[in-house]
Amino acid sequence: MKAMILEKICDLGECGEPLRLAELPDPEPGDGEILVRVSACGVCHTELDEIEGRTPPPVLPVVPGHQVVGKVEKSGSGAEKYRSGERVGVGWIHSACGKCDLCVSGQENLCADFRATGRDVNGGYAELMTVPESHAFPIPDVFTDVDAAPLLCAGAIGYRSMNLTGISGAGRLGLTGFGASGHLVLKMVRHMYPDMKVYVFARSPGEREFALELGAVWAGDTTDKSSEKLDAIIDTTPVWKPVVEALRNLAPGGRLVINAIRKEDRDKEYLLNVDYTEHLWMEKEIKSVANVAGSDIAEFLKLAAEIPIRPETETYTLAEANRALLELKQRKIRGAKVLVIG
């Protein structure tokens, strides 16, 4: 099979093309696993974190990619959930132990044995991949393969982030950073809570214009003050400055939810600007988002189909994965980037 493989950790701005197109042996499904022929795979900022070493793969080389849509090619021993030809999706969660207190309580995303698709095991930047059938999810018929791919991570993690804000109804929500996840959260909120006001903070004028097109009531730069204090803010940026700036815009008792697997160190000194009275006083909260559980993906796919949510997408071939990643790093974004494979 053809696959894009990561062979070394490097700064994307320096190494240029970190992934190499290679011919690999076709994988075989193990016990309880299915073999998926990949048709589309979303491109996520977490791939940049892997490539640049902020969440490095434990073993190299590895095939990245964790927003995977494809059809079941065959099943391993004991795998009976899916038939050959059925369409499934695979997200960031490849597996967890299934036995610890966290897994039993539905918090498998926090399991010490959590394994991530495309980091701890080979992922979807390839023609074929394997996954436990327990962590493959049916794709609703309403979505094309390209539509569905970003829903499996950008959508599911946005859904989890929104739930963690604790707000609903006529609340005031902020989104700082407006890429794949942010634009899907806005689409979801507009349907679920039509009276909720959504404020978007983004460096790019194009992203701010896009947010207003999708129904945001206000859009400004990351450093701007919103026209009113916000009940919750979801941060999807890779750096620290937006976190500090977001805290200034929270209302008393407000919550900042940080939806990022890692933060870059390039502006870490900005944390020295945190002032207790301005940024944290009045019972403001900060909460991180750690991975996704299978329930997040299953619930969000069902919700997205009911609305329905259709992401804005830009498509690339498998061989163009390096270009898609570089554009992502350069913030050349409108919606989500998806590799079309096969």
Q: Which CATH number do you get for residue 253? A: 3.40.50.720
For 39: left if phi > 0, alpha if psi spans -120 to 50, otherwise beta; the answer is alpha
Residue 14 is part of which domain span? Answer: 2-139+312-340
Q: State the pLDDT at residue 72.
A: 98
Q: Are residues 214 and 266 in the same domain?
A: yes
* Any domain includes 150: no
Q: Are residues 218 and 113 in the same domain?
A: no
* Any domain includes 247: yes
- Note the maximum CA span of the chain: 59
* Any domain includes 40: yes
Q: State the pLDDT at residue 275.
A: 93
Q: Are residues 91 and 194 in the same domain?
A: no
Q: State the pLDDT at residue 335.
A: 86
* Any domain includes 282: yes
- The count of domains in the chain is 2
| Residues in Cβ contact with 197 at an 8 Å cutoff, skipping those fewer than 6 apart | 170, 171, 172, 173, 217, 218
Q: Which CATH number do you get for residue 322? A: 3.90.180.10
Q: How far apart are CA 232 and CA 171, in angstroms?
A: 8
Q: How far apart are CA 105 and CA 285, in angstroms?
A: 24
Contact 32, 78 (CB under 8 A): yes
- Whole-angstrom distance between the N-terminal and C-terminal Cα of the chain? 10
Averages of pLDDT over each 10 residues, the chain, 342 residues: 97 90 98 98 96 97 98 97 97 97 97 98 98 98 98 96 95 95 95 96 94 96 95 96 96 97 91 93 97 97 95 96 94 91 86
Radius of gyration for the alpha carbons in the chain, expressed in angstroms and rounded: 19
